[in-house]
A = this chain, B = another copy of it.
Amino acid sequence: MCAAGLAAWPGWVLSGCMCRWMAYSGDPILAEELLFRPVHSLIDQSLHSTMGATTANGDGFGIGWYGEGAEPAVFKSIEPAWNDRNLRELAGQIRTPLMFAHVRASTGTPVQRSNCHPFRHGRWLWMHNGALRGFHMIKRDLLMAVDPALYADIEGSTDSEALFFLALTFGLTDDPFGAVERAVGFVEAVGHAHGIEHPVQMTLATTDGRSVWAFRYSSEHDSRSLFFSTDVVALRRLHPEIDILKSLGDETRVIVSEPLRDLEGAWHEVPESSAGVIQPGRDEVRPFRPVVSA
C-alpha cells in the first residue's frame, strides 16, 4: 500500500488491486518451474516489480490449477509470496497443464484470503490487475446487479471479485468475450452516473480449464502492461542457447503482466483495448469494446 493509500486508510476510499499475474497453458509442468526458477520468477516480481504501480506486491498471493477432479484447486494466502514456505513446498509437487498465479498489492480492501486472486466459481478461475475506481461509491449498484442466485457466493469485498460476478451474470460461461464487454460496459455506465470519469482499469484473465481468455483495457485507454509469449518452437530457433526452452512443451503459452525475464523476441505486448484467447486449435486476438446492455 503506498503512502497515499495509508493517508486515506480510515476512509477506505481507494479500492482496487495493483498486482502482477501470470497464466500458463500447455504441457503439464511443475508449478515450481513457473513460480520460482529465476527465468520464471513471479515470486521475484512480487518483491521487485519494476513495471507495476507499486514496487512490492506483498499483500497476499494465490495460485489456481487444474488437476484431480473437474474443478480447479486454489491455494491462496495473505503471507507475502516470497515468505510463504508452503507455497515453495507445494510448487514442487503440483504438476498441471493450466495454472493461474497472482501476487497482490492492495490499495483499499482488507488483506484476507477471500480477497486474494484467483477467484473461482465452478470450473472457472478469474484474476485481475487494476481497479474499479470509486468502488466504495458504486459497490452497492454493482452488487445489486449480480444475479440473485449468485450473490451469496461472493466471499470477499474486492472490486475484482465484483467484476467477476458481473461477468458471470452477463454470461461468462457461454460467451466470455461478450460477457466481459457487457460487465465492463455496465461498470462504466454506473461509474459515469456517479461522476467517475474513468471507472475501469484492468488486465484480466479467466479460464474454464480448457481455454484462457485475457483482456487489456482501461476507460482512459492507458492500460496496465500485458504480454504473451512467443511460440516456443520459434523461440527455440531464436535462442538455441537457452536450455530451459528445450524442456518446455511445444504447446506452452504464457500470459504475464510483466515479462518474466528480458529475452529478445520472447514477449509480445497485448495491444491496448484488446482481448485474446488461448485455446485448442487457433488462438485469437480481437478488439475489446465495452457494451452497455439495454
Interface residues of A (CB under 8 A from B): 1-3, 6-7, 9, 30, 36, 38, 41, 43-44, 47-48, 54-56, 58-59, 65, 67-69, 73-80, 82-83, 85-86, 88-90, 92-95, 106, 110-114, 135-137, 139-140, 143-144, 148, 151-152, 154-157
Q: Which 9 A-B pairs have the closest CB atoms?
A: A56-B56, A112-B112, A58-B58, A140-B151, A139-B152, A73-B89, A136-B152, A83-B111, A73-B93
Q: Are A68 and B90 in contact (CB under 8 A)?
A: no
26 A-B pairs within 8 Å (CB atoms) are namely: A1-B82, A2-B47, A6-B36, A30-B68, A58-B82, A65-B93, A67-B93, A68-B93, A68-B95, A73-B89, A74-B89, A75-B86, A75-B89, A76-B86, A83-B106, A83-B111, A90-B90, A112-B114, A135-B152, A137-B152, A139-B152, A140-B152, A143-B143, A144-B144, A155-B157, A156-B157
Q: Which of B48, B68, B76 contacts A55 (CB 8 A)?
A: B48
Q: Which of B3, B58, B113, B154 contacts A44 (CB 8 A)?
A: B3
Q: Which of B56, B79, B155 contacts A47 (CB 8 A)?
A: B56
A51 to chain B, nearest CB (A): 15
Set of chain B residues within 8 Å of A69, measured between Cβ atoms: 92
* Interface of A: prevailing SS: mixed
Copies in the complex: 4
- Starting from the known contacts A55-B55, A68-B93, 20 additional A-B residue pairs (CB-CB under 8 Å) come to A1-B82, A2-B47, A2-B48, A9-B88, A30-B68, A47-B56, A56-B56, A58-B58, A59-B83, A67-B93, A73-B90, A73-B93, A75-B86, A75-B89, A110-B112, A110-B113, A110-B114, A112-B112, A139-B151, A140-B151
Set of chain B residues within 8 Å of A6, measured between Cβ atoms: 36, 41, 43-44, 82
Q: Are A93 and B94 in contact (CB under 8 A)?
A: yes
Set of chain B residues within 8 Å of A152, measured between Cβ atoms: 135-137, 139-140
Interface centre among A82, A139, A157 (most CB of B within 10 A): A82
Query: Given A7-B38, A47-B1, A113-B85, A75–B90 Cβ distance below 8 Å?
Result: yes
A205–B101 Cα distance when bound, in Å, is 35
Set of chain B residues within 8 Å of A36, measured between Cβ atoms: 6
Q: Which of B3, B38, B83, B94 contacts A1 (CB 8 A)?
A: B83
CB closest chain-B residue, reference A54: B47
A281 to chain B, nearest CB (A): 28
